[in-house]
Structure 1
Amino acid sequence: MVKKTSKNSNFPSDEILMKEEVVLNTYDECTDYIEYDDTKEFSVDEYCDNIQVDMVNESDDKMTLEFDITRIEAPIANALRRVLIAEVPTMALEKIYLYQNTSVIQDEVLCHRLGLLPLHVDPRKFQFPTEKVFGINEKGVDCEEEPEGDPTRNLIFKINVSCTKNRNAVPTATDPKQLYHNSSVYTRAFEWVPIGDQASSYKKKKPGMVSDDILIAKLRPGQEIEASCHAVKGIGRDHAKFSPVATASYRLLPTIRLNAEISGEAAERLQSVFSEGVIGIEKKGAKKIAVVKNARMDTCSRNVFRHEDLAQVVQLGKNKQHFIFSVESTGALKSSELVVEACKVMESKCRSLRKQIEALIH
């Protein structure tokens, strides 16, 4: 049963209103800044003091992070997301010096695949490359021989794997892992080769791949892969292999208002149209009434509008100043460290823009 009550016609300016087929109040009259007042001087310090960051959930391995940012606008939230994806630097394999490849994978495909392998290396200890390694000669060859590498700009990994028959295999065996040695090549086959003083710098933890179990290729007897791989520092804007995150996304905090008392069969129906955990049912005397338990878990499916009686008393929205961020690191740095580095990049951009504006003014 749905018991109608007086409905408040005023809707908060900082919320998006979701109807059955339209979304209202998606932008403000004159600015993205919600509390904009042209009669009052804007204070950066006051604005920054109002911003709140709350840690919600972090995985045990520190690679996945969920946190909330409130009292900011969509352009700032989106800037943080885009910087996380494209402008926080990492290390990745850039030059593959392929000495032997008799696998079924073409040379260029194999090299591209190796370049996408995530490295567990702190990029803050390295500098960006300043010049091209070698130019292409008149014969179209990229380089004549492998360079030594710069310890401040490079990491070198070598791989040399060949597949052979397992003469001790059971005659009835059909599994390639039993029939052959090195039938599958994994990232554990890579060996880090220190250059310069890197051996002393990485005594505690050697640079390597994020995971030892990433499949690179499958070999059969007589096939071999031998390569020397040079890693450099870069950003995702130049190539996706440098992107430090697997996912970096945000969504607005859902809001659900019940403008009437919903009880009995209607309460159970209301609970069923939302995601699990969003709507709860509580006892009120002899009745069971529906209450909003956790709007955060709502997926904003708007299935409630399929029921005419419920659609009249349920008001769906999203808080325009409450952003739920989800960040998943590829493994180079912890997700929390990536967020801090992204903020540093944004700060650097702001300082650069300020200097350019001051130069124009003066």
Structure 2
Amino acid sequence: MASSSAAASSSRLPQSAYNPRRHVGVHAERVSDVSSTEYPGHYPGEDHSWDLAKFRENLKVEVKRLSQRSVEFDLVGVDASIANAFRRIMIAEIPTIATEHVYVWNNTSVIHDEVLAHRIGLVPLNVPPGMFKYRNPNGVPTDQDTIVFKLNVTCEVDKNTSKEKGAPRKLIHEEVLSGDLEWVPQGEQASVFTGDLPPPAPTNKNIVLAKLRPGQEIDMDLHAIKGVGKDHAKWSPVATASYRLHPLVILNPSKPIPPHLAQKFANCFSPGVVQVGKGGRVSIDERNLRKESMSREVLRHKEFEGSVELKRIRDWFIFTVESEGPYAPQDLFPESIRVMREKIANIRHAAEALLADVDGAPGAVAADGDVEMGGV
């Protein structure tokens, strides 16, 4: 993560951000200059062949905000298809551990077994997925692919409650919380989860699962296994993963904002984006441009027509990711890169196998790993 001094020096937009080729126009009722070709960023009569050095020069990943559960970072220099691939992988293909099998021994609450099981399955667990294998659907559960929890809660009246007339009645276990899930170690798991590695438990122990009245009981065994979000949302490691294109507001120097309308003009944008100086001089604060909501309010006023252009930078993505599982928020993007690399490797191996079977002529693999078609 960049230091505060580095962040201050990079608060202004680079000059390349004003390159018209990188802009998507935002108008009152439409957008313009949206790339719809099979090769975005390519122009006729120019050499746009792949250049790794140029790609490295344009690529930038910078964390802008980091908290315990969320991160905001900029991904610059890639096509929308790549940015969206990372977003979809973070939502649906990074593995986590979640409750899959629920064995109900007793449930006298008002919540049906299936509904309660579904609620429990959505409780995020703090178990590192890398420590476990995917469970074989037809195999026997082992300590290497299954985490076992027990939920045994009975609601009863607190015997220490005052017996005076009109005194409120206190109940024990009136609410069943996620913190009531008790981990039951299997095999060698007790020796693994020691020291700095906390025992398996919900990441939030205050999630209400059910409410009970005196005499009602819930007794269940829960088996949590490894999975991915594309199979069920309970395995998704994020609460949300989204991006937006970096806003850009460009003033027209040939038609400046009249001083008596400067404050009205500033009020059309998010706070801090437009600065009003002495004499009603209007300027754009590039440090706060990322806060602009692009509401297009300024385009509703005819007096500002032709004085300003609203744009977005097509290859500058502002990601917002909220973690709800065992991953720290700053680890989710590197994990999505790892998953994408595995998918690319699988495609490469499949292509090599396909070429090896074409007319009995095996495909040669170049030094850089690319498959050469050879005489096929």
What interval of TM-score do these two structures reach, taking the shorter chain for normalisation?
0.7 to 0.9
- The alpha-carbon deviation at position 132 of structure 1 amounts to 3.5
Question: What CA distance in whole angstroms lies between the structure 1 residues aligned with 2:46 and 2:217?
Answer: 70
1:192-207 residue pairs with structure 2 within 5 A?
192-204=183-195, 205-207=198-200
Answer whether contact 1:118 1:210 (CA < 8 A) is retained.
yes
- The alpha-carbon deviation at position 40 of structure 1 amounts to 5.0
2:340 matched to 1:332?
no
Residue matched to 2:152: 160
Q: 1:115 aligns with which of 109, 114, 121?
A: 121
2:161 matched to 1:169?
yes
Change (3 A) 1:219 1:68: same
- The alpha-carbon deviation at position 18 of structure 1 amounts to 0.8
1:143-158 residue pairs with structure 2 within 5 A?
149-158=141-150
Report the structure, 1 or 2, having the larger strand content: 1
1:300-315 residue pairs with structure 2 within 5 A?
300-315=294-309
2:287 matched to 1:281?
no
- The alpha-carbon deviation at position 123 of structure 1 amounts to 0.6
TM-score (norm 2): 0.83
Question: What CA distance in whole angstroms lies between the structure 1 residues aligned with 2:110 and 2:81?
Answer: 47
Answer whether contact 1:91 1:233 (CA < 8 A) is retained.
yes
Question: What CA distance in whole angstroms lies between the structure 2 residues aligned with 1:111 and 1:42?
Answer: 51
Answer whether contact 1:95 1:230 (CA < 8 A) is retained.
yes
Question: What CA distance in whole angstroms lies between the structure 2 residues aligned with 1:272 and 1:355?
Answer: 56
Change (3 A) 1:210 1:126: same
Residue matched to 1:18: 26
Residue matched to 1:27: 35
Deviation string 1:260-318 (CA, Å, 9 cap, x unpaired) is: 332423110011111112111122xxx12121112111111101011112132110000
Question: What CA distance in whole angstroms lies between the structure 2 residues aligned with 1:156 and 1:37?
Answer: 63
Structure 2: gaps of 5 or more residues: 1-17, 356-362, 364-376
Question: What CA distance in whole angstroms lies between the structure 2 residues aligned with 1:36 and 1:179?
Answer: 77
Residue matched to 2:60: 52
Residue matched to 2:282: 290
TM-score (norm 1): 0.86
Question: What CA distance in whole angstroms lies between the structure 1 residues aligned with 2:19 and 2:27?
Answer: 13
Answer whether contact 2:106 2:218 (CA < 8 A) is retained.
yes
Question: What CA distance in whole angstroms lies between the structure 2 residues aligned with 1:45 and 1:330?
Answer: 37
2:226 matched to 1:218?
no
SS of 2:250's partner is strand
Question: What CA distance in whole angstroms lies between the structure 1 residues aligned with 2:55 and 2:47?
Answer: 16
For the aligned residues, what is the CA RMSD? 2.0
2:245 matched to 1:252?
yes
Answer whether contact 1:28 1:34 (CA < 8 A) is retained.
no
Change (3 A) 1:35 1:101: farther
Q: 2:342 aligns with which of 344, 348, 353?
A: 348
Aligned length: 331
Question: What CA distance in whole angstroms lies between the structure 2 residues aligned with 1:123 and 1:41?
Answer: 40
Residue matched to 1:187: 178
Structure 2 letter corresponding to 1:12: P
SS of 1:119's partner is coil
Structure 1: gaps of 5 or more residues: 1-9, 134-146
Structure 2 letter corresponding to 1:311: E
Identity, % of aligned pairs? 37
Structure 2 letter corresponding to 1:15: H
1:231-242 residue pairs with structure 2 within 5 A?
231-242=224-235
Residue matched to 2:368: none
Question: What CA distance in whole angstroms lies between the structure 2 residues aligned with 1:123 and 1:216?
Answer: 24
SS of 2:318's partner is strand
Question: What CA distance in whole angstroms lies between the structure 1 residues aligned with 2:44 and 2:207?
Answer: 51
Deviates more, 1:81-90 or 1:348-357: 348-357
